[in-house]
Structure 1
Amino acid sequence: MEKVNVGVIGLGRLGMVHADHLVSLISDANVLAVCALDQSQLDYAKENFGVNTYQNYKEMIDKEDIDAVVIVAPTGFHPEMTKYALDAGKHVFCEKPLGLDMQEVKEMAEHIKAHPDKVFQLGFMRRFDESYRHAKELVDNKQIGDIIYIRAYGIDPITGMESFTKFATDNDSGGIFVDMCIHDIDLIRWYTEMDPVQTWSLGNNIAAPQLKEIGEFETGVATLKFDNGMVATLIGGRHAAHGNQVEMEIMGSHGWIRIAQEPEKDFVTLFTDAGVVRPSMQSFSERFEQAFITELKDFISNVKANRQSDISVEDGVKALQIAKACKESAETGEIVNIVLD
């Protein structure tokens, strides 16, 4: 096929980013339709992207001559949407996490395996970020020796608290570990090629007491233990005053790697009587813009070549199981053994 006809499900902040990239920057993709519940989002997409619009994803899949769907709906809907699309003969790109209910996710995974002729790709976009990919090469080439410890931060700007609170009230986000730390869990598995066996996790709502009312932690900290003694620390939060803070440090026996120590927006430094100021990135979509584009290009390329993604559904299942173990530990205050199916 010359171009891959695509339908996008979900037009929230990331869904709109994906739709825009597919329309504007990915020449091998042809977006025919989008689906969302919010009429204002649909009106914007119709006017700016020139696509057909739907409020029912099944209707879009059944009526439109699409080859693939890009699912960016709330997490709880991912399993049913993926299964419906696959049964309709469509390739699927699905944002992380795979879902919220573990049984539904396991059934989803089996459904994906039952359609080996269809490409399924999970949105772990950090694997497509040049900095993280370079770090992977360094790790694989033993440039820092054996990994001893990994520290990972993922903290959203506090300016997004109101929007997140509304989202989490209307939709189950899965909690800080499932919603945010799952990216770092995936990277840790990718770098080490190992799975953790135990976690001790904690959470608090000091920066946002209102989240306690909806069962959310604002900040979550998890320690992961591995069979060989390696340790990793995950920190997820929504309270960064300066912008979007995403960083990782990999400590090896013969060297360290530090990725994105500071969320610098550009190469400009302002010197005034108020001090030295470096502008910061304000959103995850800004920090990972190129990675989002690259992963969608990879998905479209995989569909054209009928080639499965390097990111497997098993990667998504295991990352979710680990994230849920972290959540359980934070909620119970107990050390939790991690058992992966």
Structure 2
Amino acid sequence: MTIGIGLIGAGWIGEEHVSRLTNVITGARVTAVSDIDLDRAAKVAAIAGARVIDSPEKLIDDAEVDAVVITSWGPVHAEQVLACIAAGKPVFCEKPLTTDAADGLRILEAEQAHGSRLVQVGFMRRYDAGYRQMKQIIDAGGVGAPLMAHCAHRNPSVPESYHSGMATLDTAVHEVDALRWLLDDEFVSVQVVKPRSTSKRFEHLTDPQIVLLETAAGARIDVEVFVNCQYGYDIQCEVVGETGTVRLPDPATPVVRGAAQAGFAVVQDFPSRFAAAFDVELQEWTDSLNSDRALAGPSAWDGYAATVVTNAAVRALESGQIVPIELTERPAFYA
């Protein structure tokens, strides 16, 4: 069976996903593409020999679209996801699921009313081999009860349009989801500390930032977000437990020795670092649709929880205070 995929949002990540679904993923075919820029939509649709549809609503309702991939602008995700649920069509939505927690609750209510999971959120780190190995070790009790986690999310640079709130909304959101998943725990408070700013930033930007999180079980997590580090795209994660530690491995790459030095190249961008994770993510999603298995990837609850945490982090950045994180009670539907 081949699933007909409609894609909404033909920007960079949309183009990447169309190429991936066409050239890498089995069991799926991109049948339609929609974007506010019809010329851009036509360029991306040509990769898959797909049709251009001039509105998200028409694409969702199209008879050749069995499932939808949303890679549009974050603030419009909620309405597009809700339209997919209303049509009874599975939807893979890149993060954020919503930019407002109230919209996340609307999605939770709509999906529960439908009666089965339709929504998966694109938190690709859960599909990275290193993170999955860490998860297995923690779940098996290999380091004992988790007490702390130390994380770093570094980019070589960011464009001038990047603002201080994006450090959590767009960047550390990946750590937020990954740590919720690794520790199987929810966050209850957040604080943002501002170290000395780098001279390499645009003046309007607070960079770096340190995001301090506390879980319901009392574990403490620090996330360094440094988006103008200059040297590369560097993702680090270490969980400290009662009996040991487990650390995310660096990407496999040759060590070169010569000229009195030994070292390896640092990855320069996130597509290179997580390309394999994107492949696994979309393949497993497609396999679930083709086998009628329940979706097992990040859920609408995960998307809602991440939005609540990152919105609280923005308030913490602005206020300098420790901000409580208040989630609604988790429905049994998402247990």
Contact 1:245 1:263 in 2 (8 A): no
The residue type paired with residue 271 of structure 1 is: G
The answer for the alignment partner of 2:265 in structure 1 is 279
TM-score by length of 2: 0.89
Report how many aligned residue pairs link the two structures.
Answer: 326
The answer for the alignment partner of 2:171 in structure 1 is 180
Give SS of 1:197's match: strand
Q: 1:208 to 1:242 in 2, by over 3 A?
A: closer
Contact 1:207 1:239 in 2 (8 A): no
| RMSD of aligned alpha carbons | 2.3
Give the counterpart of 2:212 among 209, 223, 227.
223
Alpha-carbon displacement from aligned partner over 1:142-197 (angstroms, at most 9, x marks no partner): 11111111011122221xx23xx34x58xxx9621121111111121112222222
The answer for the alignment partner of 2:64 in structure 1 is 65
Q: Which runs of 5+ in 1 are unaligned?
A: none
Quote how far apart the aligned CAs of 1:263 are: 5.3
The answer for the alignment partner of 2:32 in structure 1 is 33
Contact 1:7 1:32 in 2 (8 A): yes
- 1:88-99 aligned at under 5 Å gives the runs 88-99=87-98
The reply on whether 1:299 has 2:285 as its aligned counterpart is yes
**Aligned mates of 1:189, 1:58 — CA distance in 2:** 33
Alpha-carbon displacement from aligned partner over 1:236-259 (angstroms, at most 9, x marks no partner): 232131221111011111111110
The answer for the alignment partner of 1:79 in structure 2 is 78
The answer for the alignment partner of 1:149 in structure 2 is 148
TM-score by length of 1: 0.87
Quote how far apart the aligned CAs of 1:99 are: 1.2
- 1:142-221 aligned at under 5 Å gives the runs 142-158=141-157, 161-162=158-159, 165-166=160-161, 168=162, 175-203=166-194, 206-207=198-199, 209-210=201-202, 212=204, 217-221=206-210
Contact 2:34 2:41 in 1 (8 A): yes
Give SS of 1:288's match: helix
Contact 2:191 2:212 in 1 (8 A): yes
Task: Answer with 137-146 or 48-57: which moved more.
Answer: 48-57
**Aligned mates of 1:228, 1:90 — CA distance in 2:** 37
**Aligned mates of 1:219, 1:54 — CA distance in 2:** 42
Contact 1:90 1:118 in 2 (8 A): no
Q: Percent identity?
A: 27
Contact 1:202 1:331 in 2 (8 A): no
Q: 1:86 to 1:208 in 2, by over 3 A?
A: farther
Q: 1:332 to 1:249 in 2, by over 3 A?
A: same
**Aligned mates of 2:194, 2:109 — CA distance in 1:** 33
The residue type paired with residue 76 of structure 2 is: F
Q: Which runs of 5+ in 2 are unaligned?
A: 329-335
The residue type paired with residue 248 of structure 2 is: I
